[in-house]
């Protein structure tokens, strides 16, 4: 019943992912200090979404292949773009 | 030797016979989807309010401490990290390490909530809280921004508190040997929930602190 056979990552891979995520956060914060106009918004949200995807695929081990998940990803992307454009472009 | 055939469908919709390469579809994931939907609604609300109050939102964001937000983000990421490697340590039958990691995760989560407390305290002392006169004087846009800020960070903190309960249950079970390498599912599910809290925060952080 229980999944002791579930593949988990290794100590090393999780450590690298963690360090990568922290670096992404710091980069995103640093970029925010520059004045890049509309790019500020794109980069901030882009980095956030990238971090979210990294957490989903590595820590939560969600494997997103198959037609159902392509559909799901397309839907989520459409929603995200909608929110983005409504909020920041108007 | 009886070969255990794993008939559960993985989230990748591949039928794997003896090993799942990813997370398995179970009630935990249904719950994750529901919570994500809840926050998606809130993000949509943020989007609309921001569109209607571009300048006010831009200015109101400067009232929040970016360094506090960054520290909180790193705190939560490290909590997810310790939770993730607990999945490894429980499978290698390392009870001491698993206990240590679970307690560390709990401590890290507690630090996040302490930081949240001080952040809220700071805003409230400045009079920037839902229903205050100061906020009403600042204008509609600020009212909306801080209303959303307190609601979304508050809801997120509630999720963390629920995570505390789950992690404490896990710690107790690891401690009295009812949760071992033979049935590590609870750790995986608790971890999935905890990573959800991290994920939500990673998305909330830029919206309120950076932009």
Provide the residue ranges of all domains of chain A, joining segments of one domain with +.
Answer: 11-89
Residues 113-152 of B with CB under 8 A from A: none
Q: Which of residues 44-83 of B touch A (CB under 8 A)?
A: 44, 46-48, 50-51, 54, 66, 70, 73-74, 77-78, 80-81, 83
Q: Phi-psi bin for A37: left (phi > 0), alpha (psi -120 to 50), beta?
A: left
Residue B23 in domain: no
Q: Quick one: average pLDDT of B50-62?
A: 89
Whole-prediction pTM: 0.86
What local confidence, expressed as pLDDT, does residue B19 receive? 55
- In-domain check, residue B1: no
Domain count of the fold of chain B: 1
**Using CA atoms, how far apart are residues B5 and B108, in angstroms rounded to an integer?**
38
- Burial pattern B133-170, b for ≥16 Cβ within 10 A else e, equals eebeebeebbbbbbbbbbebbeebbebbeebbeebeeb
A12 touches chain B (CB under 8 A): no
Residue B32 included in any domain = no
Q: Tell me, what CATH number does B102's domain have?
A: 1.20.120.80
Residue B187 lies in a domain: yes
Residue B109 is part of which domain span?
A: 66-210
ipTM for the complex? 0.86
**pLDDT (tens digit, 9 = 90+) per residue, B98-149?**
999 999 999 999 999 999 999 999 999 988 888 888 888 888 899 999 999 9
**Mutation for testing the B interface, residue in A59, A76, A86 having most B CBs under 10 Å:** A59
For residue B7, what is the nearest residue in chain A, using CA coordinates? A1
- Rounded to the nearest angstrom, the minimum Cα separation between A26 and chain B is 8
Chain B neighbors of A62, CB-CB under 8 A: 11, 22-23
H/E stretch holding B32 reads: helix B27-52
| Share above pLDDT 90 across residues of chain A, in percent, rounded to a whole number | 29
């Amino acid at each position: 019943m229980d999944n002791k056979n579930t593949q988990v990552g290794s100590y090393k891979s999780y450590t690298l992912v963690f360090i990568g995520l922290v670096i992404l956060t710091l980069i995103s914060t640093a970029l925010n200090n520059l004045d890049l106009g509309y790019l500020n918004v794109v980069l901030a949200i882009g980095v956030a979404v990238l971090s979210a995807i990294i957490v989903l695929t590595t820590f939560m081990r969600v494997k997103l292949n198959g037609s159902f998940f392509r559909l799901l990803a397309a839907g989520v992307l459409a929603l995200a773009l909608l929110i983005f454009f409504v909020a920041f472009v108007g | 030797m009886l070969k255990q055939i794993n008939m559960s469908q993985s989230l990748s919709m591949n039928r794997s016979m003896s090993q799942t390469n990813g997370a398995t579809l179970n009630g935990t994931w249904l719950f994750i989807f529901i919570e994500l939907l809840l926050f998606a609604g809130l993000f949509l609300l943020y989007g609309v309010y921001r569109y209607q109050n571009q300048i006010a939102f831009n200015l109101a964001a400067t009232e929040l401490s970016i360094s506090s937000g960054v520290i909180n983000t790193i705190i939560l990421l490290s909590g997810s990290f310790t939770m993730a490697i607990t999945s490894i340590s429980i499978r290698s039958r390392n009870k001491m390490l698993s206990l240590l990691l679970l307690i560390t995760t709990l401590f890290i989560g507690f630090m996040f909530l302490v930081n949240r407390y001080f952040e809220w305290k700071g805003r409230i002392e400045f009079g920037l809280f839902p229903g205050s006169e100061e906020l009403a004087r600042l204008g509609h846009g600020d009212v909306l921004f801080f209303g959303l800020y307190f609601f979304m960070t508050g809801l997120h903190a509630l999720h963390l508190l629920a995570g505390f309960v789950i992690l404490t249950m896990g710690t107790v079970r690891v401690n009295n040997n009812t949760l071992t390498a033979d049935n590590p599912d609870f750790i995986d599910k608790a971890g999935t929930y905890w990573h959800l809290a991290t994920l939500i925060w990673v998305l909330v952080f830029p919206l309120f602190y950076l932009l």
